[in-house]
Chain A
């Protein structure tokens, strides 16, 4: 049995008939073909699959695709606008916030939510809010620095 689902991803409308058990992350990766969103675990710990759903950072492995009918989703591929990197993406580059790059899309999407909640976050706030995203390469040091850098840039622009 397949069900129809229609959603907007990075400004583009997508309609498919999918199995009800299909996870949103697999829909994004396999059905739509946006492979920047990653799968690093099967218990919703790692956060590599984090995307923005109607502006909220959500682990896309925790939802079925069919639940997303009518949703507006942003993935890592949709964050840069007209070829300009988002300040968070720029921050990860400037501050060496990534090594293997696998957790990075999820980290950046989680950081997006953090900076909406706390435009000038403390180090503790950043670290606490990043609890749902695992990285094995950086020891988090430069990820925190990257988010701090982005916060300063975004404050400067306002």
Chain B
């Protein structure tokens, strides 16, 4: 029976999903074992760039336990993996300077391998060991070709061509903003600064490697694919409509417990397509699980920009203009959303939180012999924030102004409703000075500067760095993204099914792989229906039960997915009122929903509990004329705008002179993500985001050997993942500026930490080294070796 409950919105409810995870009962794709299951192993290119002269699979086929070996030539009728974002003038996409080239990306390449790890064959066997052993016996006659991996070398004359149809390795050219106004701003500037800013390539490194299980049922002609996906419906649509040409309604995609994504599990990958295709042929289920080594070679990478940025300032520190030229490395193939990341998720955020006079950005996307680059936590927005926040600090240094003061001087004033930027987007609401003021007070900035002065006199290298960031999330208004080249709508669905007993099952098209939807969405539902949270079940990740969904990325789950559920709950209550009004012999407009019951307005004695209305909906003996039985509603919410979370982060670093080792002493974050359903969960996401942002600043980086094209950081031994003893406790706080865009007032919180942390840390290191004359560091990560080099070369100079 429904009873009134305390409001859960804003409460740190313990996670309902945790009991299964802490007892080892989570169910991830690789945990799945089906009768008759077979195992796949892929044969991959050991070369960065090589022509395939021939492939001999005879020995592999003869290996005991092997069921089948397939190469690209066997996959007739299979199309290229699609790129879901088109940048072409003919499509009227804004800013296109040179049309996007979309070279084919075949699931198994049969002519040329274009990066280390490019799959060329698959072996399917009774056991994983047999498949792996037999894969070693596939003999490929390679003709190695010259390779290019470095972003800034891709377009140099004489460089090897990655794709014949992309001359000079240019994938596209794109621009945004007012070039003439920006030029004019630079002419009137008292001070200009120009910096090269390299945003290095990263690997997402979700702890669970990608995996899939494909099962084809001959009796029903249905394919079921369990896959590590952030968006199972998107996987189904892309695979059915574009690659395999199989009927969508005969394919069920299930993303069960997924061990982190950070963007890397958005995309449609070769292996899941190959396994789905092959399952029909071998007539047995196939499981493939990526090794970590394969993950480094094939999971879409992130970032990889080389940027030249210029900032124009007045003598009193007003930012007059920002000019940005970026080369974005897209890798060997276009991944699912690749062209959107360095364009509409990057250029549109270069306004930052500042009233900049004019902005112009040019982006060249390039192909190289590297793993495809696509969205990684933040996706374009961290790169934009890094450019803006580094340049603001460089501007402050040039003017000898305090970096916090320069920021305050240029903040867009507090507003709610709309702020038109110079780079297309319209911000929803903001109080940027409010976030920084709170940060400075929590941080005790004045006290720190006094301590720093004393420390410097003692020869210590102590620095503070700020980052006052903005990001765009709640992705995204379908019409807007459609006009920008997206091949999809970016709404979300939410279905609420009230059972006859008053229990509630909610189906959301968004997917949780660490975000805690089973808790936060249940908090929303329990609040709206005023029923105990125990009566609410959240279902996600299965195209067989969820109507449709665009999935989880771009901090969209609560703001877009949550709003869709909210809309369905409104419909449930409206229908409930009609049923209750009939039973109460009142008019529906005189019925209100209070404390878990429908009651005649102001008369608690004339009331019917939620559960009784639910039962009546399914046992409609005494029921309103013309009203359908049942109590189940579905809504699709398409946001009218993006939401723009913001905040101010600061950190303190100390550098050991003798070694160049950077130690993070303190990290303070004040975020404004709008309204917060569950503060514990939001804080947790901020923590993890900060760790990834710090990771980029100090340790992480995917490195290719430029001569051989080999991925040097190909294992967890070589790629420096942040560890517990490299990081401090983080201090988190918030301001709350609800968004007017959605009825929940939620902006989004999944990426803030990653976006803000990298520039905060680098700014702190530059501040620490400033007594040595350092005012900029071109490349990250700021490893001990790189910092030691800076200390010693600068010291000698000085």
Contact A94 B725 (CB under 8 A): no
Q: Which of A36, A41, A141 touches B24 (beta carbons < 8 Å)?
A: A36
Binary CB contact string for chain A from 79 to 103 against chain B (1 if under 8 A, 0 otherwise) = 1100001000100111010111111
Contact A126 B724 (CB under 8 A): yes
Q: Which of A37, A76, A93, A128 touches B19 (beta carbons < 8 Å)?
A: A93
Q: Which of A33, A94, A99 touches B514 (beta carbons < 8 Å)?
A: A99
Within 8 A of A (CB), among B1-55: 14-15, 17-28, 30-31, 33
B150: shortest Cβ distance to chain A, in Å? 26
For the A-B complex with A100-B259, A103-B207, A142-B687 known, give 14 more contacts whose Cβ atoms are closer than 8 Å: A40-B259, A41-B716, A42-B292, A43-B716, A93-B22, A98-B21, A98-B22, A99-B514, A101-B20, A101-B259, A134-B721, A136-B688, A140-B722, A144-B724
Contact B207 A134 (CB under 8 A): yes
B327: shortest Cβ distance to chain A, in Å? 28
What residues of B have a CB within 8 angstroms of the CB of A92 in the complex? 18, 22
The closest CB in chain B to the CB of A33 belongs to B33
What residues of A have a CB within 8 angstroms of the CB of B685 in the complex? 99
Contact B23 A36 (CB under 8 A): yes
* B715 interface contact, C-beta 8 A: yes
* B633 interface contact, C-beta 8 A: no
Contact A135 B687 (CB under 8 A): no
Q: Which of A94, A101, A104, A138 touches B684 (beta carbons < 8 Å)?
A: A138
Contact B24 A105 (CB under 8 A): yes
Within 8 A of A (CB), among B579-634: none
With known contacts A130-B724, A130-B725, A136-B692, A100–B25 Cβ distance under 8 A: no
Chain A residues touching B, majority SS: loop
B292: shortest Cβ distance to chain A, in Å? 4
Contact A93 B14 (CB under 8 A): yes
In the docked arrangement, what's the CA distance between A130 and B721, Å?
13
* A77 interface contact, C-beta 8 A: yes
With known contacts A36-B26, A41-B715, A46-B207, A138–B688 Cβ distance under 8 A: yes
Interface size on A, residues (CB 8 A): 57
In the docked arrangement, what's the CA distance between A89 and B724, Å?
19
In the docked arrangement, what's the CA distance between A21 and B262, Å?
34
Contact A80 B23 (CB under 8 A): yes
* A127 interface contact, C-beta 8 A: yes
What residues of A have a CB within 8 angstroms of the CB of B684 in the complex? 96, 99, 137-138, 141-142
Within 8 A of A (CB), among B652-690: 680-681, 683-685, 687-690
* B447 interface contact, C-beta 8 A: no
What residues of A have a CB within 8 angstroms of the CB of B389 in the complex? none
Q: List 8 A-B contacts (CB under 8 A).
A: A41-B292, A42-B293, A48-B207, A79-B23, A89-B22, A102-B259, A139-B691, A143-B724
In the docked arrangement, what's the CA distance between A108 and B24, Å?
10
The closest CB in chain A to the CB of B262 belongs to A136
Interface size on B, residues (CB 8 A): 61
B734: shortest Cβ distance to chain A, in Å? 16
The closest CB in chain B to the CB of A35 belongs to B31
Contact B690 A139 (CB under 8 A): yes
B103: shortest Cβ distance to chain A, in Å? 31
In the docked arrangement, what's the CA distance between A4 and B751, Å?
50
The closest CB in chain A to the CB of B719 belongs to A45
Within 8 A of B (CB), among A7-48: 19, 21, 29-30, 33-43, 45-46, 48
* A69 interface contact, C-beta 8 A: no
Within 8 A of B (CB), among A37-81: 37-43, 45-46, 48, 75-77, 79-80
What residues of A have a CB within 8 angstroms of the CB of B204 in the complex? 136
In the docked arrangement, what's the CA distance between A136 and B721, Å?
8
B746: shortest Cβ distance to chain A, in Å? 19
Contact A43 B292 (CB under 8 A): yes
What residues of B have a CB within 8 angstroms of the CB of A116 in the complex? none
The closest CB in chain B to the CB of A45 belongs to B716
* B515 interface contact, C-beta 8 A: yes
What residues of B have a CB within 8 angstroms of the CB of A137 in the complex? 207, 260, 514, 684, 688
Contact B716 A104 (CB under 8 A): no
Contact B514 A42 (CB under 8 A): no
Contact B688 A94 (CB under 8 A): no
Contact B28 A38 (CB under 8 A): yes
Contact A136 B724 (CB under 8 A): no
* B291 interface contact, C-beta 8 A: yes
In the docked arrangement, what's the CA distance between A100 and B21, Å?
8
Within 8 A of A (CB), among B501-545: 513-516
* B281 interface contact, C-beta 8 A: no
Q: Which of B514, B692, B723 touches A101 (beta carbons < 8 Å)?
A: B514
What residues of B have a CB within 8 angstroms of the CB of A100 in the complex? 206-208, 257-260, 513-514
Within 8 A of A (CB), among B175-213: 204-209
Contact B24 A34 (CB under 8 A): yes
Within 8 A of A (CB), among B435-450: none
The closest CB in chain A to the CB of B12 belongs to A96
Q: Which of B27, B262, B680, B721 has the most CB of A within 10 A?
A: B721
What residues of A have a CB within 8 angstroms of the CB of B14 in the complex? 93-94, 96
Contact B24 A77 (CB under 8 A): yes
Binding site for B on A (CB under 8 A): 19, 21, 29-30, 33-43, 45-46, 48, 75-77, 79-80, 85, 89, 92-94, 96, 98-105, 108, 123-124, 126-128, 130-131, 133-144
What residues of A have a CB within 8 angstroms of the CB of B715 in the complex? 41-43, 45
In the docked arrangement, what's the CA distance between A5 and B19, Å?
32
What residues of A have a CB within 8 angstroms of the CB of B142 in the complex? none
What residues of B have a CB within 8 angstroms of the CB of A39 in the complex? 30, 209, 289
* B219 interface contact, C-beta 8 A: no
A131: shortest Cβ distance to chain B, in Å? 5
In the docked arrangement, what's the CA distance between A104 and B725, Å?
17
Contact B24 A139 (CB under 8 A): no
What residues of A have a CB within 8 angstroms of the CB of B680 in the complex? 96
What residues of B have a CB within 8 angstroms of the CB of A131 in the complex? 723-725
What residues of B have a CB within 8 angstroms of the CB of A141 in the complex? 684, 687, 727, 729-730
What residues of A have a CB within 8 angstroms of the CB of B257 in the complex? 100-101
Contact A139 B730 (CB under 8 A): yes
Contact B725 A128 (CB under 8 A): yes
Contact B26 A135 (CB under 8 A): no
* B129 interface contact, C-beta 8 A: yes
Contact B207 A135 (CB under 8 A): yes
A34: shortest Cβ distance to chain B, in Å? 7
* B717 interface contact, C-beta 8 A: yes
In the docked arrangement, what's the CA distance between A108 and B19, Å?
13
What residues of B have a CB within 8 angstroms of the CB of A77 in the complex? 23-25
Contact A104 B514 (CB under 8 A): no
Q: Which of B22, B687, B716, B729 has the most CB of A within 10 A?
A: B22
What residues of B have a CB within 8 angstroms of the CB of A108 in the complex? 22
What residues of B have a CB within 8 angstroms of the CB of A127 in the complex? 724-725, 727
A48: shortest Cβ distance to chain B, in Å? 6
What residues of B have a CB within 8 angstroms of the CB of A128 in the complex? 724-725
A124: shortest Cβ distance to chain B, in Å? 7
In the docked arrangement, what's the CA distance between A93 and B281, Å?
45
What residues of A have a CB within 8 angstroms of the CB of B716 in the complex? 41, 43, 45-46, 134
Contact B24 A76 (CB under 8 A): yes
The closest CB in chain B to the CB of A141 belongs to B687
What residues of B have a CB within 8 angstroms of the CB of A138 in the complex? 684, 687-688, 691
What residues of A have a CB within 8 angstroms of the CB of B28 in the complex? 35, 38, 102
The closest CB in chain B to the CB of A139 belongs to B691
Contact B23 A96 (CB under 8 A): no
What residues of B have a CB within 8 angstroms of the CB of A135 in the complex? 207, 724
Q: Which of B262, B291, B515, B690 touches A42 (beta carbons < 8 Å)?
A: B291
The closest CB in chain B to the CB of A126 belongs to B724
Contact B259 A93 (CB under 8 A): no
Q: Which of A30, A38, A85 has the most CB of B within 10 A?
A: A38
Contact A38 B208 (CB under 8 A): yes
Q: Which of A30, A42, A96, A140 touches B681 (beta carbons < 8 Å)?
A: A96
In the docked arrangement, what's the CA distance between A75 and B513, Å?
23
Q: Which of A79, A93, A99 has the most CB of B within 10 A?
A: A99
Contact A99 B727 (CB under 8 A): no
Q: Which of A101, A126, A142 has the most CB of B within 10 A?
A: A101
